[in-house]
């Protein structure tokens, strides 16, 4: 089974548009901040704005030169934070040079943090009081829901331990109501293949191209490829699709799997952020 992220993402986007069409006098705005001229980052930001506009959201893109100072970047975030017409703020990562992303993220009010990366929103997730959740792991959970993949009593393995994906994915899979038994593994885990092969649900988020092969996958497992690497052959996920697809019960393609879901959940978070700020009542 191909787990089609594009299809589910379109369904989420259309549902948001239908909801916003019922409130024509409400304008919800997503602001992005892009520092430097990295082509991939520009591509990702452009995609986010296209999808936001298609869903009926307004969007605002702030582009800053690569030599922007820490103070200048933080000032820009503070300006957006004080702007009541802006409901969501996203800083495109990674930042160039020596810019400190943690100091930048700390300037984003938790209720406008549509990437779910501030310490407040991460803390809420740890405590089971989640509001705005990191978009990529949230996207995996939306795919699990859409494809009615059983989680209760199942074993899940998350490969990768980043604050952006691995750690929040662990928490979302383990939370009450989902109830999977979850292990975090990584490149230094002893016998990674044996650990992965215990998984009914395998989420691969290490950023190491084609590191997960058929020998890592339990027959019938549901495999979600989150890792993205730029190689000479183009974009490559963590999963060797050709071999794993012969063993897995379900698998996300790369591209077209978890990537579109990340953007869809960004839109979902922006609408939630507007509701948290009192701009949207329904």
92 is catalytic: yes
CATH class label, 27-111? alpha beta
Question: Are residues 114 and 269 in contact, defined by beta-carbon separation less than 8 angstroms?
Answer: yes
**Catalytic-labelled residue, pool 48, 130, 154, 218:** 48
32 - beta bridge partners?
Answer: 61, 90
Active site residue 22: no
Catalytic residue among 115, 200, 225, 238: 115
Domain map (residue ranges) of the chain: 27-111, 135-259
Going by the DSSP 8-state scheme, the letter that residue 216 receives in this structure is G
> Are 27-111 and 135-259 in the same CATH fold?
yes
pLDDT of 232 over the 80 cut:
no
pLDDT of 215 higher than 90: yes
**Six-digit token pair at 29?**
């705005």
Which entry of 92, 113, 130, 169 is annotated as an active-site residue? 92
Q: What's the CATH class of domain 135-259?
A: alpha beta
Percent pLDDT > 90 in the chain is: 91
pLDDT of residue 282: 65
Q: How confident is the model at residue 154 (pLDDT cuts 50, 70, 90)?
A: very high
Q: Which one, of 7, 101, 28, 24, lies nearest residue 268 by Cα? A: 28
pTM more than 0.75: yes
Give pLDDT tens digits for 6-53. Answer: 999 999 999 999 999 999 889 999 999 999 999 889 999 999 999 999
The DSSP code for 99 is: -
38 an active-site residue? no
Among 186, 179, 228, which residue's Cα sits nearest to residue 201?
Answer: 179
């Amino acid at each position: 089974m191909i787990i089609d992220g594009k299809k589910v993402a379109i369904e989420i986007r259309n549902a948001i548009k239908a909801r916003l069409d019922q409130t024509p006098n409400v304008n919800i705005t997503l602001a992005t901040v892009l520092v430097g001229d990295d082509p991939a980052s520009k591509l990702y930001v452009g995609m986010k704005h296209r999808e936001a506009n298609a869903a009926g959201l307004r969007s605002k893109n702030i582009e800053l030169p690569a030599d922007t100072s820490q103070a200048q970047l933080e000032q820009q975030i503070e300006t957006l934070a004080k702007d009541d017409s802006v409901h969501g703020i996203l800083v495109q990562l990674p930042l160039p040079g020596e810019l400190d992303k943690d100091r930048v993220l700390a300037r984003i009010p938790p209720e406008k943090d549509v990437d779910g990366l501030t310490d407040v929103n991460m803390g809420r997730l740890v405590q089971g009081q989640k509001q705005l959740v990191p978009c990529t792991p949230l996207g995996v959970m939306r795919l699990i829901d859409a494809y009615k993949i059983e989680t209760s009593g199942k074993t899940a393995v998350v490969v990768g331990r980043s604050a952006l994906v691995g750690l929040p994915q662990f928490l979302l899979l383990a939370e009450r109501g989902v109830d999977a038994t979850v292990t975090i593994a990584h490149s230094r885990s002893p016998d990674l293949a044996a650990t992965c092969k215990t998984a009914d649900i395998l989420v691969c988020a290490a950023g190491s191209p084609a590191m997960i092969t058929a020998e890592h996958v339990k027959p019938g497992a549901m495999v979600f490829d989150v890792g993205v690497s730029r190689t000479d052959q183009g974009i490559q996920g963590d999963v060797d699709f050709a071999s794993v697809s012969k063993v897995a019960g379900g698998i996300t393609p790369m591209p077209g799997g978890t990537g579109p879901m990340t953007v869809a959940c960004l839109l979902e978070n922006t609408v939630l952020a507007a509701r948290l700020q009192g701009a949207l009542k329904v």
